[in-house]
Amino acid sequence: MTMSSWSKTVAVLCSTLAVLFGLAPVCPSHAAELAPLQAVPIPANNPQTPAKIELGKKLFFDRRLSGDGTMNCATCHNPELAFTDGLDISLSYPTTKNWRNSPTLIDAAFRKYLFYDGRAKTLEEQALFPMMSAFEMNKNLDYLEEQVQLVPEYRAEFRKVFGGEVTRERIAMAIAAFERTLISKVTPLDRFLKGDESALSEDAKKGLVVFKGKGKCIECHDGADLADDRFYALNVPENPKLLDDPRVTTTMRFVAKVYHYDGYRNVREDPGRYLITKDAKDWKAFRTPSLRYVSKTAPYMHNGVFGTLDEVIEFFDRGGGPGSKVLKPLGLTPEEKRSLKVFLNEALTGEDIVVKMPEVP
C-alpha cells in the first residue's frame, strides 16, 4: 500500500501542529505502511565479528553477572520462551520485586528506544542497566570487571576481540553484538508483502484488512517491525498484583528517585515515559512494541496485565483505558475481532530462533 501524497501532506501537517501545540494526537499516520524484514543496523563503533558475538553469548548466559550468582540474562529472556520469561511481571533479585513485564529481545536491535519508557537508546547502553539494577541482577560493576578479568579464558577473549582488558563498556558491547543476532526469521507476512499470496490464510488476510483499516492498528504498529518507536498513553489498567505490594512500591519509588522525579515518595503507579521527559503528555505513556513473534510473547503490555490477545483486542476495541485521549472505540464485530486475532497469531511469527548454549568459562 502506498500513501497518496495528499495523505502524506495531512500527516506532516498534523504532526507539525501536534509539536506546535504540545498535543499527542494520533495523526493519520506517519508511515502507515507495512514492510518486509530489513537488514539489522550495525553501529560503526561496534562492528560484528564472530568472536565478539560468541563472547557476548557467553556473557549473556553467565551467572557471574548477578550479585548472588543465580541469574543471567536468559533467566528473564529465555530463548525457549521467545526471549521473555513468560510471566506478567518479570522475575527479580531475591527480596525485591520487579514492576514490569520482560519484553522479548527478538528484533530489539531495530528499536530506536529501548525499555518501555525509552530510557536507553542503544543496546550497548541498555545492557548495563539490568546488571546494576537493585531489583534485577544487583551486581556491582567494578566488582564484575575484576571478576571477569580473573577468568583466563575471558581475559584472552577480551584481548582478542577488543585488543585490551575487561571493562564494563566492552562487556556491554559484546552482549549487544550477540543481541544483534536475535533477529526475526521470515514470517508469513514478509512472504505475503513480497508477493506470495498464498502465505496468508483467508482469515489472516481478513485480519490484515482490519489491522490496516477499521482497527487502525497500523497507525502505531507500522513498518517492518510493526512498531513506530513512539510513546502513547493508552491508559492500560494497572496490574492488580502491583498495587499495595510494598516491594513493588519500593521499586517504583527507587526508579522515580533515580530519575529525579520530585514526587517520588508519592508514586503508586507506573509513570511511564514521564519519568524520563517530565513532560505531562508522557504521563503513563509507553513505547509501541513490535508485534513480531507476538503469538509467543504473552502476557502483554508493560505490566503483563493482559494474558491473551483476545484481551488486548477487546482493550483496543473499547478505545483503550478510561479517559484515553489517544484511542477511540472501534466497534469491531465478533468476526473482525476473530480474524484480527488469526492475523496476529499466524502472520507475524517465523521459525524459532535457536541459540546453541555456549560453555560458560
Q: Which residues bind ligand HEC (CB under 6 A)?
A: 26, 65, 71, 73, 75-77, 90-92, 98, 100, 102-103, 105, 108, 111, 114-116, 123, 126-127, 130-131, 136-137, 175, 215-217, 219-221, 232, 234, 236, 286, 288-289, 291, 294, 297, 300-302, 309, 312-313, 316, 326-327, 340
Task: State yes or no: cis peptide before 299, omega within 30 of 0.
Answer: yes
Nearer to ligand HEC among residue 25 and residue 47 (C-beta): 25
Q: How far is the CB of 92 from ligand HEC (least distance, A)?
A: 5
To 5 degrees, how large is the angle CA 66–CA 69–CA 72?
Answer: 55
Nearer to ligand HEC among residue 29 and residue 199 (C-beta): 29
Q: How far is the CB of 176 from ligand HEC (least distance, A)?
A: 8
Burial class (CB in 10 A: 0-12, 13-18, 19+), 335: exposed
Q: How far is the CB of 131 from ligand HEC (least distance, A)?
A: 5
Between CA 212 and CA 3 the distance in angstroms is: 12
Per-residue b or e along 176-190, where b marks 16 or more CB atoms closer than 10 Å to that residue's CB? bbbbbebbbeebbbb
Amino acid identity at 231: F
Nearer to ligand HEC among residue 142 and residue 198 (C-beta): 142
To 5 degrees, how large is the angle CA 181–CA 170–CA 114?
Answer: 55
Ramachandran category for residue 284: left, alpha or beta (phi over 0 → left; psi -120 to 50 → alpha): left
Nearer to ligand HEC among residue 130 and residue 223 (C-beta): 130
Q: How far is the CB of 317 from ligand HEC (least distance, A)?
A: 7
Q: How far is the CB of 106 from ligand HEC (least distance, A)?
A: 9
Nearer to ligand HEC among residue 30 and residue 100 (C-beta): 100
**Integer Rg of the chain from CA:** 21
Nearer to ligand HEC among residue 157 and residue 225 (C-beta): 225
Contact 57, 247 (CB under 8 A): no
Q: How far is the CB of 334 from ligand HEC (least distance, A)?
A: 14
Chain centroid offset of residue 74 CA: 15
Between CA 360 and CA 72 the distance in angstroms is: 11
Nearer to ligand HEC among residue 256 and residue 312 (C-beta): 312
Nearer to ligand HEC among residue 11 and residue 26 (C-beta): 26
C-alpha cell at 247: 516491594
Q: How far is the CB of 187 from ligand HEC (least distance, A)?
A: 15
Which residues, in sequence order, are bridge partners of residue 286?
Answer: 232
Q: How far is the CB of 256 from ligand HEC (least distance, A)?
A: 12
Contact 353, 182 (CB under 8 A): yes
